[in-house]
Chain A
């Protein structure tokens, strides 16, 4: 019996679950009992963070600074001066790009002053006509990929203009155009440092791990304290959020450079800088540009969230529309964000996949043809806008800029659709909603809340031990202990309950869908394309349609999470099944298996490690969404993070809450990843 247990991990796990259930049944729910809940020893932790931040911001290292208003020197903390400088610079850059596209006077004012600008009314940058921007996007699409992308880019910008979302869209775009390159640059620098020095990489790794699971909101609060609110704060939060994947992919790409290529560079007599600039980075080009793509996606995912701390643009409008329950308008804005996301995604991917062309034997005109086209388009656009000023004598020149609320709108149509849905299916939807909440969600939630802390630890650490030995058990235990010692254990349980429900449903749907689609090359290709497209949607967008149907409830949040989190489950299933070698299929067929047997006995075991990683991603996606779900009302950790946004002393709370969410994810990550790695090793697959 004991021997059998030692061999069979499955039996061990069954035993563990039995112990877990017994604990749940027999540990009494008494306050003050350490078996039931641990005391909140870390309750002061957020306060310490607040105090140190305050000290850093207001008391640390005072320096004399000249204040032009009172014409005297004043003592100011140096940190304040630094953050002020950074804010000013970022804001200037955003305004600069924004005014190139939309026109304005602030950039000119920066260099001259308001008095001068008022006196010289001619000194206004007029902004580009929307036709020129659209044409520019088309030409860029054509240069990077071809007609298809050109048409899509053109369509997107025309859609935006026609639907009257030009101004907020360009505000968002200018915001991305500053945040993304900055994040890319910082990521590249840290990536190279991480590649060059083992020490830096060892330091970076855990930071990157936490940073990628930390909920978006958690970044907002410290940024708000240090940099205030506004476009620049939004951009800085976005940069912090978008940099980690760039660092990761840079390190990965540089490590993937074949050692012989590096040696060839060295033997050619490259100095360190030449090696990096002319050999390593160009050879790792593709991975690095995938990083660029990731950065852009993260930036767009932050568009809505950054508007919470004052970033102007589509995200802000979307939040307002949702708050007023104007679903139709929200949907239109949402489509704009999605379209911009897809266009930027496709453009950057096309750039990544584009091979370098040889230019030496081309004429100047050939080499710069795309730029020449743009100049022509610019000329035409300006002339058209000028002609437009004669046609549209009253009010607005539609050939120059379609103002807000003057475009076509389908809002009423969608609103009518929602109303119709509500009128027609009110009882059905309401019935389902109520049944789901009362009979499914609440019992599960109560079950989670009814877990004694000792039982949770036993289950999690026991699983860790079975999968990865004492090391995994301790790591998982450490993560949980942090959460248990804060005062938010119950909230964390609610977060876990939503996440667990979502992961179970998503995992099931994803694996079934992935398996079915993987049976045929065409269907798997379609599924993967869908996954790609859906993944470019900023997570917030998923809330819009479910809110239309289920209002502000846990059901809405859960469905949004499920839809969002199914993507990685399905993707990894397909990829895992595709990675089963053809020879094994043939071997199976020659042994006379039918399709189902083949799936059960060959494909599933071999692709299961892959699927486990998919589930791991599902967890990450679900956690991200649970927290965003707080925006429309849940009572988990996310809600508290959102709350601490408006709290002056919120930094500590926000950060610690963020860590809690991240640690839930990391604990699960530890178990699933260790298991998948061990399985892969046992099966001898890559």
Chain B
């Protein structure tokens, strides 16, 4: 996972105080409330709060996951940003341009050139073959049949579906259908990639496989990604940063490690309680400053490595292990005791306190 490099550059997506409230007199009620929205009070008046004052930025090449249970407003937020639904208030900037006020023609241009989206239920066109489905966004755009089919064939290869070009969606398994969905969303080479619970409808084994596939693709393509899921494990596995939503409010927006280590609210803490620390924390978070006296081994681990993946190595080394950054320079030392603490510490203490 790439770390966020550019803080200085203009963010690709910037949301400022975005609200989405469903209901007939939503706009008026929002104005009267003066920007402080109480969901319960709105509901009494027949309005349902979908997104409540969301502000955040997503940078070039970053993978932001919006995590929440059903009804938390995560899909609504995603749809506000892709403007499949019109937000009630607030501004959404894409590459510095406010899209909430785009007219229909410009919106279509934006979608044709910059956006791609993957859906939970795959949403393939039932009357088109794999190839035609993938070529569809190109053809809508006006690309010639020949060119669009050529490009679609490349995409088929990218998502490893070669040989099934002329199948219909009904003839494919769920995982294969979602590969088509992914290929379709990438066909126009979008800058921004929206994924709405892309793997939720799949069996656990297939889901794991697709997550790996997704990471592989992201490694190659480095898109700016908004990814919605209700699966916290998935979020931890994939995300650069996670936004946790509840009742339309973003409870916390941070890196996986920070969310696990410092949950901002009670709600977030409940989520993180059961999460195995070693699956989230990186070596960086348990390393000590470089210690030349301890006589470290010649073993080295990356500071970005997740603890789980290198735990065995460190524990069997017998001595502290050097930590290096991406350029290979030694930046710290990690002691086995710290790793043991992460692996067993927190939880055994908790369990000891719990009567059987």
Which chain A residues have a beta carbon within 8 Å of chain B's beta carbons? 258, 260-261, 263-271, 274, 278-279, 282-283, 285, 355-356, 358, 360-361
What is the CA–CA distance of A554 and B181 in the complex, to the nearest angstrom? 63
Q: Indicate if B279 sits at the interface (CB-CB under 8 A).
A: no
Q: State whether A267 touches B125 (Cβ < 8 A).
A: no
Asked if B232 is at the interface of the complex by the 8 Å CB criterion, the answer is no
Contact B184–A268 (Cβ < 8 Å)? yes
How many whole Å from A127's CB to the nearest CB in chain B?
Answer: 38
Q: List 10 A-B contacts (CB under 8 A).
A: A258-B121, A260-B120, A261-B125, A263-B119, A266-B84, A268-B111, A268-B184, A278-B136, A282-B128, A360-B166
Closest 5 CB pairs of A and B: A269-B112, A268-B137, A260-B123, A264-B123, A267-B117
A263 contacts across to B, CB distance below 8 A: 79, 84, 117, 119, 123
Whether B184 pairs with A358 at a CB distance below 8 angstroms is no
Verify B111–A266 contact, CB threshold 8 A: yes
- Indicate if the CB atoms of B108 and A271 lie closer than 8 Å: yes
Instruction: Check if B349 is an interface residue, CB within 8 A of chain A.
Output: no
Chain B nearest Cβ from A351, distance in angstroms: 14
State how many angstroms separate the Cβ of A456 from the closest Cβ of chain B.
40
Q: For the complex, give the distance between the alpha carbons of A274 and B136 in Å.
A: 11
* Chain B residue with the shortest CB-CB distance to A286: B126
Within the complex, which residue of A269, A282, A283, A285 is in contact with B108, where a contact is CB–CB below 8 Å? A269
Residues of chain A within 8 A (CB-CB) of B170 are 355
| Contact B82–A267 (Cβ < 8 Å) | yes
Q: How far is the CB of B17 from chain A (nearest CB, A)?
A: 25
B125→A274 contact, CB < 8 A: no
Residues on A with C-beta less than 8 A from B141 are 269
CB within 8 Å of A: which of B94-145? 108-109, 111-113, 115-117, 119-129, 136-137, 140-141
Tell me whether A267 and B121 are in contact in the complex, defined as CB-CB below 8 angstroms, given that A285-B127, A355-B168, A360-B166 are known contacts: no
Least Cβ–Cβ distance between A509 and chain B, in angstroms: 40
CB within 8 A of B140: which of A258, A269, A282, A360? Answer: A269
Central interface residue in A269, A278, A356, by most chain B CB within 10 Å: A269
Residues of B within 8 A of A358 (CB): 129, 166, 168
Residues of A within 8 A of B84 (CB): 263, 266-267
| Alpha-carbon distance A3/B194, docked complex (angstroms) | 58
In the assembled complex, the CB of B274 is this many whole angstroms from the nearest CB of chain A, namely 31
Distance of A355 Cα from B128 Cα, bound (Å): 10
In the complex formed, the residue of A with least CB distance to B122 is A260
Report the count of interface residues on B (CB-CB < 8 A): 34
A282–B125 touching, CB < 8 Å: yes
Name the residue in B109, B113, B120, B166 with the highest tally of chain A Cβ atoms < 10 Å from its Cβ. B166
A258 CA to B122 CA in the complex, in Å? 11
Tell me the complex Cα distance, A264–B169, Å.
15
Residues on the A chain within 8 Å of B117, using CB: 263-264, 267
Query: With the chains together, A263 CA to B120 CA distance in Å?
Result: 12
Known: A260-B121, A269-B109. 18 other contacts (CB 8 A): A260-B122, A261-B124, A263-B117, A264-B125, A265-B125, A266-B111, A267-B111, A268-B137, A268-B140, A269-B111, A269-B141, A269-B188, A270-B108, A278-B125, A278-B140, A283-B126, A283-B127, A356-B168
Residue of B nearest to A270 (CB): B140
Return B174 CB to nearest CB of chain A, in Å.
Answer: 14
Residue of B nearest to A267 (CB): B117
Q: Among B111, B115, B123, B168, which residue has its beta carbon within 8 angstroms of that of A261?
A: B123
Closest CB-CB distance, B136 to chain A, in whole Å?
6
Shortest distance between the CB of A287 and any CB in chain B (Å): 13
Nearest-neighbor residue (CB-CB) of B116 within chain A: A267
CB distance from A279 to the nearest CB of B (A): 6
- Which residues of B have CB within 8 Å of A266? 84, 111
Q: Which residues of B contact A268 (CB under 8 A)?
A: 111-112, 136-137, 140, 184
Are A264 and B168 within 8 A (Cβ)? no
> Cα distance A108–B120 when bound, in Å?
59
Residues of B within 8 A of A265 (CB): 125
Q: Select one of B115, B128, B168 contacting A267, CB under 8 A.
A: B115
> Which residues of A are found within 8 Å of B168, using beta-carbon distances?
355-356, 358
Give chain B nearest CB distance to A209 CB in angstroms: 26
Max chain A C-beta neighbours (<10 A), residue from B82, B113, B136: B136
Which residues of A lie under 8 Å from residue B115 when comparing CB positions? 267
B191 to chain A, nearest CB (A): 14
Give 1 or 0 for each of B322-336: 1 = CB within 8 Å of chain A CB.
000000000000000
Residues on the B chain within 8 Å of A355, using CB:
168, 170
Q: Is the CB of B119 within 8 A of A264?
A: yes
Cα distance, A112 to B288, chains bound together (Å): 101
A568 to chain B, nearest CB (A): 30
- Smallest Cβ distance from B268 to chain A, in angstroms? 29
Taking the nearest CB of chain B, how far is it from the CB of A673, in angstroms?
Answer: 27
C-alpha spacing A615/B109, complex, angstroms: 53
Interface-centre pick from A267, A285, A360 (highest chain B CB count, 10 A): A267
Give complex CA distance A279, B121 in Å: 16
Min distance, Cβ A153 to any Cβ of chain B, angstroms: 26
- Output the least CB separation between B82 and chain A (Å): 6
Q: Please, which residue of chain B has its CB at the minimum distance from the CB of A274? A: B140
Q: Contact at B166–A361, with CB atoms within 8 Å?
A: yes
Chain B residues whose CB sits within 8 angstroms of the CB of A258 once the complex forms: 121, 123
- B123 pairs with A356, CB closer than 8 A: no
For residue B166, which residue of chain A has the nearest CB? A358
A615 shortest CB reach to chain B, Å: 35
* Most chain B Cβ neighbours within 10 Å, of A268, A278, A361: A268
**Cβ proximity bits B181-209 to A, threshold 8 Å, 1 near / 0 not:** 10011001000001000000000000000
A237 vs B155: C-alpha distance when bound (angstroms): 53
Bound Cα distance A583, B66 (Å): 38
Contacting residues of chain B (150-190) with chain A, CB-CB under 8 angstroms:
166, 168, 170, 181, 184-185, 188
Q: What is the chain B residue whose CB lies nearest that of A360? A: B166
Residues of A within 8 A of B82 (CB): 267
For residue A409, give the distance in angstroms from its CB to the closest CB of chain B.
47
> Which one of A269, A271, A279 contacts B125 once the chains associate, using CB atoms below 8 Å?
A279
CA distance A101 to B99 in the complex (A): 59
For B181, the chain A residues whose CB sits under 8 A away are 264
Of all chain B residues, the one with the shortest Cβ separation from A261 is B123
Question: What chain A residues lie within 8 Å of B119 (beta carbons)?
Answer: 260, 263-264
Measured between beta carbons, the chain A residues less than 8 angstroms from B116 are 267
Contacting pair B127 A282 (CB below 8 A) = yes
In chain A, what residue has the closest Cβ to B136?
A268
Q: In the bound complex, how far is the Cα of B204 from the Cα of A551, in angstroms?
A: 71
List residues of chain A with CB within 8 A of the CB of B124.
Answer: 261, 264
> How near does chain A come to B258, taking the closest CB pair, in angstroms?
32
Which residues of chain A are near B184, meaning CB under 8 Å?
A: 264, 268
Q: Roughly how many angstroms separate A356 CA and B84 CA in the complex, as a whole number?
A: 29
* Nearest neighbor of B131 in chain A, beta-carbon distance: A360
**Chain A residues near B123 (CB-CB < 8 A):** 258, 260-261, 263-264
Interface centre among B84, B126, B137, B184 (most CB of A within 10 A): B126
A236 CB to closest chain B CB (Å) equals: 34
Question: A272 to chain B: closest CB distance in Å?
Answer: 8
CB distance from B193 to the nearest CB of A (A): 11
Which chain A residues lie closer than 8 Å to B137 at the CB level? Answer: 267-269
